[in-house]
Amino acid sequence: MAILLEATQNCIDLVYANALKIMYTKRLENARQIAKSFEARFQSGEINVLDFHKARLNLLNMQQEAEKNERERGLLLATLTSLNGGKAVVLTDSVFVPQTVDTVFDTFIANARYNNPSLRLLAHDMDVSQKQEKLVSALSLPKFQAGYMSESVVGQQFKGLTVGMTLPLWENKNTLKYQRARTAAIKVSAADEQLRFYNELKALHGKAIKLQASIADYKKNLALADNSALLNKALEAGEISLISYLFEQSFYIESQLRVLDSEKELAQIIAVLQQYQ
C-alpha cells in the first residue's frame, strides 16, 4: 500500500510538472518575442538600454524557470522508473481529472476503518489476546475430581466415594496477570490508533471539500480575467512599460499557479483517502 501511494503521489507531481511545462513554454515564447521586439526598438533608438536589458532579464528568468521545471520532471520520471522495476514510465498528462469527494464522512470512515491494515492487525491481536486470556484463566482455576474407589489391604477391603481438588501452580496466576495486562495494553493502543486515524482523515476530508469549492470558484473567475492579448498590444504600441506589463501579467499568472497548486493538493489528498476504500 505504501509503495502504491508513493507511486501515485509521484504521478501527481509529474502531472503538475507537465502542466507547468505548458505554462512555461507559452511564457518563454512570449518572453522571446518581447526581447526580440525590444532589441529592434533599441536598435532604432525607440527605447533606451535600460528597457532593453529588462526585456533580456525577463527572458533569462523564464529560461531558468523552465529549465528548473525540466530538471524536476527528470527526477520524477527517474523515481517512477525505479518504482516500476526499472521500466521506463511515459506520462504526458498535464490536466488533473476532476474528482469529487463524498460529503458524507461517516460512511467514508466506516469503510476506511475496515480497510486500514493497522486497525485490522490491532483487532486481530486483541481477539487473539482475549482468547489467550480466557485459556489462561481456565487453567488457573482449581480442578475438582470425584469418583468411586476400592482398595484392598490384607484382611480388609475399603470401598467408597472419593473427592479431590487440584490447585494450580502459582506461576499460572502470574501468567494470567500478564495476559490481562497485555489485553488491556492492546485495547488502549487500538483506541488511540482509531482516534488518531479518525482525526487525520476527518481533517483531510474537510480540507478536500474546501479545496473543491475553492478550485471551482477560481476557475470560474480565471476565465474572465485573462487580459494577456490586450496587454501585449499595449506593450507593443508603447502604451505601457515593460515593468507595468509584467506587473499586470503577474496577477493572472499567480492565479493560474494557485489553481494548479490547489488541484495538485486535492489530488494528493484524494490519493491518501482512496487507499482505504
* 147 within 8 A of 162, measured Cβ to Cβ: yes
> In the chain, what are the domain boundaries?
1-95, 105-144+159-277
Cβ atoms of 166 and 141 closer than 8 Å: no
Write the CATH number of the domain with boundaries 105-144+159-277: 1.20.1600.10
Task: Please name every residue paired with 144 in a beta bridge, in sequence order, or none if there are none.
Answer: 165
How far apart CA 98 and CA 216 sit, in angstroms, is: 10
CB within 8 A of 110, min separation 6: which ones? none
Task: Tell which residue, 26, 12, 10, 15, has the closest CA to residue 66.
Answer: 26
- Tallying the residues shown for the chain, one arrives at 277
pTM, two decimals, is 0.78
- Three-class SS of 249-275: HHHHHHHHHHHHHHHHHHHHHHHHHHC
Tens digit of each residue's pLDDT, the chain (277 residues): 688 999 999 999 999 999 999 999 999 999 999 999 999 999 999 999 999 999 999 999 999 999 999 999 999 999 999 999 999 999 999 999 888 887 788 888 888 888 888 888 888 887 887 787 777 676 665 554 555 555 555 555 555 555 555 545 555 567 778 788 888 888 888 889 889 989 999 999 999 999 999 999 988 888 787 888 888 899 888 899 988 989 988 888 999 999 999 999 999 999 999 888 7
What is the tally of helices (H) and strands (E) in the chain? 7, 2
